[in-house]
């Protein structure tokens, strides 16, 4: 019984901390720091993720996706490409079948994503803002979604 007040206090503190963390959570679009691109339109982001050619100063913009974050992918389908996962995957399959164009590349972790983006100038990827800030080679160029 004597632990009950302490347990309640810890639970409340954790709940408040997670709420504060979630409230500040944002999904951002990143590119490599050596790319001069400062921002990109929502239309161009959608085009890039649908496999439609988009370029910046002559450089073809390559898009990457993250595999293992369900919440982030939900945001991607709702806010970036605005279609269901099934419809999106079929769009990419059609491009491959028609033009032999490879599908958007997936990577398994934020670290791999950061390496892929940093290694391909002016390529883009979406990630949590907190993750993006950990990588010096990356810069955030657009907020895709923010928790209200």
Partner 1 sequence: MPDGLQARCDFPMLHGKPEFRSLSCAPFRSVSSSALTPKNAEILFMKTSESIRHRRKSWWISILFLSSVSWGQQESGESRHELLFFPSIDTFNNLTDSNSVDHDSFVRPAVDVLYSYSGDRFRFLGEYLLSNEESELERIKVGWQTGRNSMLWLGRYHTPAKFWTTEYHHGQFMQTTITRPGVEEWEDDSGPMPSHITGLSLEHESPRAGEVSTNYGFAVGLGPQFIGDELVPFEPLDPESGHDLSVNLRVAYKPSVLSLSQFGVLTAWNEINVVSESSPDLADLDHIRQFTFGVFGDWQRDQWRLLANFVYFNNELQYTAAPETDQFVAGYVQAEYRVSEDWTVFGRGDIGINVDESPYLRLLPAFISHRYMLGLRWDLASFHSFMIEIADTSAQGDGFSHDDFTEIRFQWSAVFP
Helix-strand-coil split of the chain, %, nearest 5 = 45, 20, 35
Q: How far apart are CA 34 and CA 137, in angstroms?
A: 8
Q: How far apart are CA 120 and CA 2, in angstroms?
A: 58
Looking at 6-14, 22-30, 44-52, 107-115, which segment touches partner 1 (CB under 8 A)? Answer: 44-52
- H or E stretch covering 116: helix 110-118
Smallest distance from partner 1 to CB 85, Å: 7
Nearer to partner 1, 96 or 143 (CB): 96
What x/- string results for residues 88 through 127 when contact with partner 1 is judged by CB under 8 A? -xxx-xx-xxxxxxxx-x--------------x-------
Where along the sequence are the contacts to partner 1 (CB under 8 A)? 43, 46-47, 50, 52-53, 55, 84-86, 89-91, 93-94, 96-103, 105, 120
């Amino acid at each position: 019984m004597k632990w009950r007040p302490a347990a309640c206090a810890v639970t409340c503190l954790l709940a408040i901390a997670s709420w504060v963390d979630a409230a500040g959570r944002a999904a951002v679009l990143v590119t490599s720091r050596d790319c001069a691109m400062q921002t990109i339109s929502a239309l161009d982001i959608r085009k890039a993720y649908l496999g439609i050619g988009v370029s910046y100063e002559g450089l073809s913009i390559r898009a990457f996706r993250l595999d293992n974050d369900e919440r982030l992918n939900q945001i991607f389908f709702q806010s970036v490409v605005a279609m269901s996962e099934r419809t999106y995957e079929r769009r990419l399959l059609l491009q491959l079948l028609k033009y032999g164009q490879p599908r958007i590349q997936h990577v398994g972790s934020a670290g791999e994503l950061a390496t892929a983006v940093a290694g391909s100038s002016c390529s883009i990827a979406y990630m949590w803002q907190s993750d993006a800030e950990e990588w010096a080679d990356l810069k955030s160029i657009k907020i895709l979604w923010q928790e209200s």
